[in-house]
Structure 1
Amino acid sequence: MKLLVLGVLATAFAAQAVGALLPHVPLLLAATAGSLAAEGVLYRWQRGMVSLFAKSHADVTVRHVLRDLLLVVGLLRLGEQHRETVYAPLVAGLLAFYGLHWAIQAVSVLVRRTRTPPVVTRNVDTRALRLTPAPPLLLRRPGPRLAAFGLPATAGLLATTATDAPVYGAAGLALSLTVALAGLGALLLRLLPGRRPAGEQEVLDWFEAWLAEYRPTVGLYFSGGASSAYQANMWLEPLARLDGRPLIVLRERHMVQRITATDIPVVCLPRVSTLMRLEHSTLRVLLHPSNSGKTSQVLRIPTIKHAFVNHGESDKLSSCNPYAKAYDEVWVAGPAARERYALAEVGVEDKDVVEIGRPQLDAVAPYAGPPAPGAYTTVLYAPTWEGWDGNPGNTSVVEAGEPLVRALLADPGVRLLYKPHPLTGSVDPRARAADLRIRELVRAANRERGGPRPDASAAAELTRRTAELDGLVAAGFRSAADQAERMLRRPAPEPGRAGAVARATAAWEEAYWASLPAWEHQVVTDARPPLYACFNQADLLVSDVSSVISDFLASGKPYAVANTSGLAEDVFRKSFPTVAAATVLTPDASGVPALLDSVRHPELDELAEARVALALRLLGPAEPPPQERFAGAVRALCATAGEHRARRAERTTAELPLPAPRRHAGPLSAAAPERRSRP
């Protein structure tokens, strides 16, 4: 389909050029109409090609200008045979329209700058910033605006070419000019002093005043790409349950909308100069779920203590990264991570490692026994991604993914949930290709299996629950909303909203699984349902050496790890302690039948006790609860930060010079030399 659209567009423009140069009116008309139709198909069904054309410097603006240029050439060529001066006003009108188009673009840039605040927020009252709804989308995107506003002019020129009647071209140009003038006027009104949002300095002053009023104590700091938002989202619930005044600090503007539903205030500080304003706030501790290039910038703030909490723990090298020594403390789940840092010798001292458990694992349901007789055995295959180092053992998708999936699908009693890592294929194209083939295997298995589907009421319930949850989470933003409008529409949440979102999420998950046939395999790639919801559906996990298996241990259910490292099984187990309680699968998946038997018949499960012991080692004890240990670690580090601030303030006061003695009018002091007057 993509090649067809590309071929039609290229052929249409070539034919239009030939029709204009000959001139050949029928060919010119047909080619222009064909190119317009291809544009419609492009924007309706092939949106992915829009960015491809833009990267090739052939975006909609270039295509529209070329289309109109060829029409003008055709008209002028016709003019040589008839009345050459008749079409001159049409050419002038077309040039005037393009002049207005570029004027709108220039003004839209100015408007966008006034609507790009230095601080982006969520869950904060921003009424003092005089924010207004964003201009219509057409006034902000030059390509679609030109296509929409210029369509009457193009249609009029087409009619003039067909009939040799300039009135049609004049009418189309008049309509395009009118619409363009109206758009320009609407944007100019937004530049009037009384219509602009607050300026940069005013926003910064407002932000400092808000910090002084809110008085945050602990924050979550995050910087990353769109696909890494899950790393921050997994810490939102534990953060929200803390006493005090939590805050989420982001660095990328696009990330503000990717943070999931929360009542915690969110601030995005793209510039380092704005970030440094946190130094004089009440913020004492920042938690870091990941490392990034921008982390070093916030570590420069001396009044804040920093703790690395990570977004999951595994035996990968990334779980004991040397960068961790840059933080004041490193918070881990259990003693295994402490040992991992000690063995790695990356500069993290044992006194700076704090065991807090994994508070977000409260959402993982405990083992409730094997699948009921006659019921499907639900297997979750959740491989990790290929990583940055090119290690073939990072992900099983490339070497073992297809054999594993085929072996699982071959068992008539298995229901497969395939949930690939969001970054799969981002480094190695082979991983992306294997992922696509696995998805096709799942679809083919569903076509062969077939079976009854839930009645319409289940789908209707899911639709209702989705609308309810979206209403709480998305707040009904229109597609044309920009950052300033989203700040306006997301004030401080009402009391009880967090509980409402939690209840709506639980109801949605229940409706989601009820809407799916019990026999149907699933490919789960959306943000909903989350990984932990898939844990609760699964009887067995198949994964790689990653934090997924560490978290799954909280359920107590059996799990298996694919060994694509090339190591012998005993060496593999010794090299990766998280595999100690796992069934190790070879790339050919020959051990899958025996693994499924041990899941269905617990008496064959020889690793149950090992899983309990490993969970204690990896995740720490169940008492005190992880959330309580997490809160205690936050309180302790806040106290340390407070003591550091006090000592710093004492040193600053001690180093200040004594004020100079104040001079008074009157008699000179004895120590002052006597002023003599001239004789």
Structure 2
Amino acid sequence: MKLAALAVIAVSLAAQVIGALLPDVPLLICSTAAGLAAEGVLHKWQKGVLNAVAKTRADVTVRQLLRDFVLVIALLSLANQRQESAYVSLVYGLLIFYGLHFAGHAAAIFVRRTRTLPVLTRNIDASALRLSSAPPALLTRHPGTRLLLFQLPATAGLLLTAATESPRFAAWGIGVSVGLAALALAGLLVRLPKSRRPASDQEVLDWFEAWLAEYRPTFGMYFSGGTTSAYQANMWLEPLAAIEGRPLIVLRERFMLQKIGATDIPIVCIPKVADLMRLEHSTLKVLLHPANSGKTSQVLRIPTIKHAFINHGESDKLSSCNPYAKAYDEVWVAGPAARERYALADVGVEDRDIVEVGRPQLDAIRPYAGPPAGLTTVLYAPTWEGWDGNPGNTSVILAGENIVRELLADPGVRLLYKPHPMTGSVDPRAGAANERIQQMIRAANRAVERPQTAGSAELAPLTQKLTELTSETFSSGADPVERMLRQGEPEPGRAAAVAAAEQEWHAAYWRSLPAAEHQIITGTRPSLYSCFDEADVLISDVSSVVSDFLASGKPYAVANTSDMSEEAFRASLPTVRAATILSPDAAGVPALLAAVRNPELDELAEARADLKAHLLGPSTPPSSVRFNEAAQALCATADKQRARREARLLSEIPGQRTPAAPAGTADAGDVLTAPEPAVSGADRA
């Protein structure tokens, strides 16, 4: 089906050629119309196919030129038959149109370059940079669509001329197309004078340094990743905002600006390494890293900043004790289990560099309230297949359908199916199994009539409200400079308003669902943690989902699709020690449900409580408090290091006296005579 439109285009071009050579006017008109309609389908709904075809050099410009060339040949064939030569002059009109189109494309490239700033921001007043609204995206970012739309009058005129033998239709159509192309070019040219452009690169960088000096950030979060990885940073927005000080978020990819969730924290995107190095001279002391990426090594070069790896989730997978972690000054983990994991992995992370801070995101998860009074809500949240091809990564392929089949067979179960968003991205078998599971759930829902609730009417206005609050944040089509203009100085409390709206939306969402209806949850809402609160039991794989769910204290099960026995599985993976282990045939599902419904059969309750403390650390003080304390301690370490560095530099200048140390740091004079203390992480490098 994805290639149907492309096939129509190929067939229509061949039919056009035949219609021109015969000549056959009806065939010419029908084939041209079919080709343009298929082009519209590609541009509207199948951009992936469109981009793939463009790589073969048969892009939309080539295809449209071919259509026009064939139409001209057809008209010349008709003209030869009727002893007329008036059609030849129409070729010059088409040449003028294409000349204006290509000139407009060149102007669009230049305009885009003038609007490609070295630093992009959110929640910062950047009006001093002469920001202005962007030209229509049709003029600057969609040359193929622009060509098709602006050429429509010319194409229609040529077809009418072929049908009526009157060249005036083609002349008028080409004239309209030429006029549209000229207007588009003029609209871009008026933006080329220097007075109409945003600030130059140097002006932007000077402004950015002045803003840093005025704002004086103390700590921040650094993030770089792909289009689907923003959740790794978004989970840390609230904990970051709660830290004492002046926070900052540093991004590297321009598209990531609109993917970061609602927050009042200033956000800067610095794509180039040379510009990133300007942070060295700022007051920034600490950067927190929720993920490793190729660009992480670039910011680790800055010697004035301390770096802590906070990860985006902990599990027993090898990725949770990546050797790259030794590049950071500190590694912040949830509890003792992660400390032990690094020790066993022996990847070079020293125990003194590990700081236990808990998981502040989990503080709001509702605790276990006992067995369900009515239906048993089961959350099945398998992870994805991963990059290494390990069959134990995800249960979707080998066990997913069996697990869901067992759950659907129990009339007292309501199933929430929430697969990982990257399921099937590496292994097609996982994607196919995921689709079959969803079909099973839909079939089960169709088999039973359930009364509808009145909650849908309540949900609609809340959805609209939440959409309006987040529309600026997640707008993906806006020009980056225009987005800076829209998302300037933050509105006080906007993030809190979004959080309140999300909480209200989640409550209304669960109320709106028909009783006992199984749910397939693939979007960002409802959130995973909201599903935790709704569920009575979790079934998952070896992933951070299990560790996070333990904060609730509720029963959980883990699918064992590896080659290990159950005993080896429990012994080698700490997160599953308090879990019910399910084999690929899902034979243990009925016993799991019985233990959830009957507390006397739940033999793992005490083990879950012990494992929760082992994985997530103590409940008191709260994780948010420990997270803040760790940030303040690392900031103090950064202050001391800066004082030592400044003292060393001053001591090398003849006649200079060592200044007094800043408040809250070690005495610089004492540091000069004391032996250099041991440092860790990036300092050792």
Q: Which residue is 1:572 aligned to?
A: 569
Amino acid at match of 1:465: L
Is 18-27 or 485-494 further displaced after alignment?
A: 18-27
Change (3 A) 1:401 1:118: same
Displacement of 1:658 in angstroms is: 6.3
Q: Which residue is 2:529 aligned to?
A: 532
Aligned length: 655
Q: Which residue is 1:668 aligned to?
A: none
Q: Distance in 1 between matches of 2:477 and 2:422?
A: 29
Equivalent positions of 1:245-256 (< 5 A) are 245-256=246-257
Amino acid at match of 1:314: S
Q: Which residue is 2:334 aligned to?
A: 333
Instruction: Tell me if the contact between 1:261 and 1:501 (Cα under 8 Å) persists in the aligned partners.
Output: yes
Q: Secondary structure at the match of 1:2?
A: coil
Say whether residues 1:410 and 2:417 are aligned partners: no
Instruction: Tell me if the contact between 1:136 and 1:480 (Cα under 8 Å) persists in the aligned partners.
Output: no
Q: Deviations over 1:519-540 (max 9, x none)?
A: 2211111111111011111111
Is 416-425 or 264-273 further displaced after alignment?
A: 416-425
Gaps of 5+ in 2: 657-685
Amino acid at match of 1:578: T
Change (3 A) 1:657 1:264: same
Change (3 A) 1:493 1:55: same
Which among 626, 645, 650 is matched to residue 647 of structure 2? 650
Q: Distance in 2 between matches of 1:454 and 1:238?
A: 36
Q: Distance in 2 between matches of 1:467 and 1:175?
A: 41
Say whether residues 1:238 and 2:239 are aligned partners: yes
Q: Secondary structure at the match of 1:450?
A: coil
Q: Deviations over 1:239-260 (max 9, x none)?
A: 0111111111111111111111
Q: Which residue is 1:674 aligned to?
A: none
Instruction: Tell me if the contact between 2:380 and 2:538 (Cα under 8 Å) persists in the aligned partners.
Output: yes
Q: Distance in 2 between matches of 1:612 and 1:476?
A: 39
Q: Secondary structure at the match of 1:178?
A: helix
Gaps of 5+ in 1: 660-679
Q: Which residue is 2:38 aligned to?
A: 38
Instruction: Tell me if the contact between 1:376 and 1:518 (Cα under 8 Å) persists in the aligned partners.
Output: no
Instruction: Tell me if the contact between 2:3 and 2:49 (Cα under 8 Å) persists in the aligned partners.
Output: no
Displacement of 1:55 in angstroms is: 4.2
Equivalent positions of 1:109-124 (< 5 A) are 109-124=109-124
Q: Which residue is 1:390 aligned to?
A: 389
Say whether residues 1:223 and 2:224 are aligned partners: yes
Q: Distance in 2 between matches of 1:59 and 1:511?
A: 47
Output the TM-score relative to the length of structure 1. 0.94
Q: Deviations over 1:650-676 (max 9, x none)?
A: 1112223669xxxxxxxxxxxxxxxxx
Q: Distance in 2 between matches of 1:434 and 1:391?
A: 16
Q: Distance in 2 between matches of 1:196 and 1:256?
A: 22
Q: Which residue is 1:429 aligned to?
A: 428
Measured on the aligned residues, the alpha-carbon RMSD in Å equals 1.6
Equivalent positions of 1:597-608 (< 5 A) are 597-608=594-605
Q: Secondary structure at the match of 1:307?
A: strand
Displacement of 1:481 in angstroms is: 2.0
Q: Deviations over 1:243-286 (max 9, x none)?
A: 11111111111111111111111111110011101000000000
Q: Which residue is 1:67 aligned to?
A: 67
Amino acid at match of 2:108: S
Q: Distance in 2 between matches of 1:84 and 1:323?
A: 76
Equivalent positions of 1:96-175 (< 5 A) are 96-140=96-140, 141-175=142-176
Amino acid at match of 2:398: E
Equivalent positions of 1:269-288 (< 5 A) are 269-288=270-289
Q: Which residue is 1:359 aligned to?
A: 360
Is 552-561 or 499-508 further displaced after alignment?
A: 499-508
Q: Distance in 2 between matches of 1:59 and 1:514?
A: 49
Query: Identity across aligned pairs (percent)?
Result: 67
Largest Rg, 1 or 2: 1
Amino acid at match of 2:168: V
Q: Secondary structure at the match of 1:85?
A: coil
Q: Deviations over 1:392-427 (max 9, x none)?
A: 111111111111111111111111111111221222
Displacement of 1:566 in angstroms is: 1.3
Equivalent positions of 1:491-570 (< 5 A) are 491-570=488-567
Q: Distance in 2 between matches of 1:561 and 1:571?
A: 14
Q: Distance in 1 between matches of 2:641 and 2:628?
A: 20
Is 155-164 or 494-503 further displaced after alignment?
A: 494-503
Q: Distance in 2 between matches of 1:437 and 1:649?
A: 63
Q: Distance in 1 between matches of 2:613 and 2:343?
A: 19
Change (3 A) 1:3 1:188: closer
Displacement of 1:46 in angstroms is: 4.7
Say whether residues 1:261 and 2:258 are aligned partners: no
Change (3 A) 1:476 1:164: farther
Q: Distance in 2 between matches of 1:249 and 1:55?
A: 34
Instruction: Tell me if the contact between 2:224 and 2:251 (Cα under 8 Å) persists in the aligned partners.
Output: yes
Q: Distance in 1 between matches of 2:515 and 2:643?
A: 61
Q: Distance in 1 between matches of 2:86 and 2:439?
A: 61
Instruction: Tell me if the contact between 1:462 and 1:515 (Cα under 8 Å) persists in the aligned partners.
Output: yes
Instruction: Tell me if the contact between 2:259 and 2:473 (Cα under 8 Å) persists in the aligned partners.
Output: no
Q: Distance in 1 between matches of 2:355 and 2:43?
A: 53
Change (3 A) 1:360 1:476: closer
Displacement of 1:45 in angstroms is: 5.2
Instruction: Tell me if the contact between 1:309 and 1:332 (Cα under 8 Å) persists in the aligned partners.
Output: yes
Change (3 A) 1:364 1:59: farther
Displacement of 1:448 in angstroms is: 1.4
Displacement of 1:84 in angstroms is: 4.9
Change (3 A) 1:453 1:113: same
Instruction: Tell me if the contact between 1:477 and 1:486 (Cα under 8 Å) persists in the aligned partners.
Output: no
Q: Secondary structure at the match of 2:86?
A: helix
Displacement of 1:83 in angstroms is: 4.1
Q: Which residue is 2:636 aligned to?
A: 639
Change (3 A) 1:603 1:478: closer
Instruction: Tell me if the contact between 1:550 and 1:618 (Cα under 8 Å) persists in the aligned partners.
Output: yes
Q: Distance in 1 between matches of 2:45 and 2:266?
A: 38
Q: Distance in 2 between matches of 1:537 and 1:273?
A: 48
Instruction: Tell me if the contact between 1:212 and 1:281 (Cα under 8 Å) persists in the aligned partners.
Output: yes
Output the TM-score relative to the length of structure 2. 0.93
Q: Which residue is 2:76 aligned to?
A: 76
Change (3 A) 1:388 1:90: same
Q: Secondary structure at the match of 2:228?
A: helix
Instruction: Tell me if the contact between 2:258 and 2:473 (Cα under 8 Å) persists in the aligned partners.
Output: no
Q: Secondary structure at the match of 1:231?
A: helix
Instruction: Tell me if the contact between 2:21 and 2:77 (Cα under 8 Å) persists in the aligned partners.
Output: yes
Instruction: Tell me if the contact between 1:329 and 1:354 (Cα under 8 Å) persists in the aligned partners.
Output: yes
Q: Distance in 2 between matches of 1:315 and 1:426?
A: 22
Displacement of 1:621 in angstroms is: 0.3
Q: Distance in 2 between matches of 1:548 and 1:10?
A: 48
Amino acid at match of 1:495: P
Is 463-472 or 202-211 further displaced after alignment?
A: 463-472
Instruction: Tell me if the contact between 1:381 and 1:541 (Cα under 8 Å) persists in the aligned partners.
Output: yes
Q: Distance in 1 between matches of 2:595 and 2:507?
A: 28
Displacement of 1:48 in angstroms is: 5.1
Q: Distance in 1 between matches of 2:330 and 2:84?
A: 81
Amino acid at match of 1:269: I
Displacement of 1:466 in angstroms is: 1.5
Q: Deviations over 1:458-481 (max 9, x none)?
A: 223222112211222223887752
Q: Deviations over 1:311-368 (max 9, x none)?
A: 1111111111111110000111101111111111111111111000100102311111
Q: Secondary structure at the match of 1:381?
A: strand
Is 113-122 or 76-85 further displaced after alignment?
A: 76-85
Say whether residues 1:13 and 2:13 are aligned partners: yes
